Structure 1
Amino acid sequence: MIEWIGRFSHVQQALLATMFTWGVTALGASLVFFFKTINKKVLNGMLGFAAGVMIAASFWSLLAPGIEMAEELGQVAYITAAIGFLSGGGFLYAVDKLLPHLHMGLDTNKAEGIKTNWQRSILLVLAITLHNIPEGLAVGVAFGAVASDLGTGASLAGAVALAIGIGLQNFPEGAAVSIPLRREGFSRKKAFLYGQASGIVEPISGVVGAYAVIKMQHILPYALAFAAGAMIYVVVEELIPEAQREEGGSKTDIATLGCLFGFTVMMILDVALG
């Protein structure tokens, strides 16, 4: 598979990889045709798994290679990493405060961002779409980094490992979008369409990320750290609180175990393939 992917340009590789992650999101969303509801314990485990994958990917696939590349470029690595990481988190913070969106299970009057009269369905999907921007960006930057040929921190196999990891966590994430939408009163078809549509930003942000770092190589270490910071923001701001919404008991324990399992899976993927 690595040899086949290597035949394409790095931007094309990023596009193929993020089309894959979008496709897995759609596959997860298709579960709405078989289930109308989702057990809260299962949902917590899914969200925990997604959080674990994103935490592991943030370090092994993004921060660590970014620090190594910063050193290769003669930059002060820890300053580059800190600036990029905080910028990524700050960017998502700003988007979170500006983009109108609504989290599952909440009334419309609790929508975040700029106040609008948008339909509840649009606000719900925008909340999930927000998660997918840093995921697509991370995959795109990882493939763009391979073109830099700086050090040994970035490799095609490592970028593929990241795409596989993001794809794995997108499956439960797709189900975690479409099935609750069904519970909100959407038809199965509409819930599926909205669920898979939440992942459409991944190919867009992936191509933008890959193209940007290829054209401006000096920003590559910053871009890797930026993607890591954005992903950690999503984990801490959205995924973990949602998974831990019900206090105490086995429901939150399952979310914690799911996070540990997701972290382990992504770590194995990156270390074994990268």
Structure 2
Amino acid sequence: MWIEKLLDYNPVILALGATLFTWFLTALGAGMVFFFKSIKRKVLNSMLGFASGVMIAASFWSLLNPAIQMAEASGLVPWVPAVVGFLAGGAFLLAVDKILPHLHLGQPREKAEGIETSWKRSVLLVLAITLHNIPEGLAVGVAFGALANNPDAGMLAGAIALAIGIGLQNFPEGAAVSIPLRREGFSRLKAFNYGQMSGVVEPIAGVLGAYLVLTMEPLLPYALSFAAGAMIFVVVEELIPESQSGNETDLSTVGAIIGFATMMLLDVALG
């Protein structure tokens, strides 16, 4: 079976390949700027809602649940790594959010968060998306890194499902960056470059996550939970508020439900 053949590869290489895939889908979404100059608010809200649902489902099915099972199998108190890692992940993203200059979609330049800077609005928008791509890349990397100590086809399938789910929600995120930049007067090529650049951090975080798991096996349940906490922080801090702006909030909610169901289907069916 093809999936079993992948177990022969180094987990770091698999993590790199998976996160390059998620970056590719970010670039593919950013490429929509070559076909559209604007994006309707209801479409954007639906896409952001979908991304929220995917990340919430991935946080449990692909990260927290395996962390609890691994802790139990190792003789640890099952909830300790999950709770400690989850809170640490949220705290880490909170600290980064307070430090890294960034601007959420649809907000004026004066609403920029983080350390005060004179950086342009376009750079701050890209940094906002980049900020929540860090835990996504880390999550995929940790999931593949876990294969070093448990080279199981089911676990590999779960890691692949996670990469597919993250990739699916990266597509609308890429479009959500590039198309608004085009509307603000950027050339199509420049808007595309900014959009795809937001996903560059995922392969970096993915390889780092896989490598850390390989070198610190006992921390694996904590690492999985850490990634989950970081992802939930992004969902609550950025994606949900942005998807609920305007008058099309029902579409945002439906998008979130569909995203959750899609990720749950991928993880349960493949994993």
Stretch moving more, 102-111 or 217-226: 102-111
Q: How does 1:120-135 map to 2 (within 5 A)?
A: 120-135=121-136
The one-letter amino acid of 2:122's match is: S
Deviation at 1:153, TM superposition (A): 11
Report what 1:188 is aligned to. 188
For residues 154 and 77 of structure 2, what CA distance do their matches in structure 1 show? 19
The one-letter amino acid of 2:46's match is: G
For residues 233 and 55 of structure 1, what CA distance do their matches in structure 2 show? 10
For residues 106 and 128 of structure 1, what CA distance do their matches in structure 2 show? 14
Report what 2:120 is aligned to. 119
The answer to whether the aligner puts 1:104 opposite 2:105 as a matched pair is yes
Report what 2:250 is aligned to. 253
Contact 1:65 1:153 (C-alpha < 8 Å) held by counterparts: no
Contact 2:105 2:242 (C-alpha < 8 Å) held by counterparts: no
The answer to whether the aligner puts 1:272 opposite 2:238 as a matched pair is no
The answer to whether the aligner puts 1:27 opposite 2:28 as a matched pair is yes
Q: How does 1:1-274 map to 2 (within 5 A)?
A: 1-149=2-150, 155-246=155-246, 249=247, 251-274=248-271
For residues 5 and 192 of structure 2, what CA distance do their matches in structure 1 show? 31
For residues 191 and 154 of structure 2, what CA distance do their matches in structure 1 show? 38
Q: Give per-residue Cα distances to partners, 1:139-162, cap 9 Å, x unaligned.
A: 000001122229x79711110010
For residues 153 and 57 of structure 1, what CA distance do their matches in structure 2 show? 19
Contact 2:29 2:175 (C-alpha < 8 Å) held by counterparts: yes
Contact 1:70 1:80 (C-alpha < 8 Å) held by counterparts: yes
Q: Give per-residue Cα distances to partners, 1:51-76, cap 9 Å, x unaligned.
A: 00000000000000001111122221
For residues 153 and 85 of structure 1, what CA distance do their matches in structure 2 show? 26
Give the TM-score taking structure 2 as reference length: 0.96
Aligned CA RMSD, in angstroms, stands at: 1.4
Contact 2:89 2:230 (C-alpha < 8 Å) held by counterparts: yes
Deviation at 1:4, TM superposition (A): 5.0
What 5-or-longer segments of structure 2 have no aligned partner?
none
Contact 1:65 1:154 (C-alpha < 8 Å) held by counterparts: no
Stretch moving more, 108-117 or 42-51: 108-117
Contact 2:3 2:153 (C-alpha < 8 Å) held by counterparts: no
Contact 2:30 2:196 (C-alpha < 8 Å) held by counterparts: yes
For residues 179 and 157 of structure 2, what CA distance do their matches in structure 1 show? 33
For residues 167 and 121 of structure 1, what CA distance do their matches in structure 2 show? 23
Q: Give per-residue Cα distances to partners, 1:35-60, cap 9 Å, x unaligned.
A: 00001111000000000000000000
Q: What SS does the aligned partner of 1:199 have?
A: coil
The one-letter amino acid of 1:210's match is: A
Q: What SS does the aligned partner of 1:6 have?
A: helix
Aligned residues: 270
For residues 94 and 42 of structure 1, what CA distance do their matches in structure 2 show? 31
What 5-or-longer segments of structure 1 have no aligned partner?
none
Aligned-residue identity in percent: 69
For residues 7 and 196 of structure 1, what CA distance do their matches in structure 2 show? 31
For residues 91 and 164 of structure 1, what CA distance do their matches in structure 2 show? 25
For residues 3 and 31 of structure 1, what CA distance do their matches in structure 2 show? 35
The one-letter amino acid of 1:255's match is: S
For residues 120 and 50 of structure 2, what CA distance do their matches in structure 1 show? 30
For residues 213 and 74 of structure 2, what CA distance do their matches in structure 1 show? 14
Contact 2:63 2:224 (C-alpha < 8 Å) held by counterparts: yes
Stretch moving more, 170-179 or 193-202: 170-179
Contact 1:68 1:153 (C-alpha < 8 Å) held by counterparts: no
Contact 2:38 2:179 (C-alpha < 8 Å) held by counterparts: yes
The one-letter amino acid of 2:93's match is: L
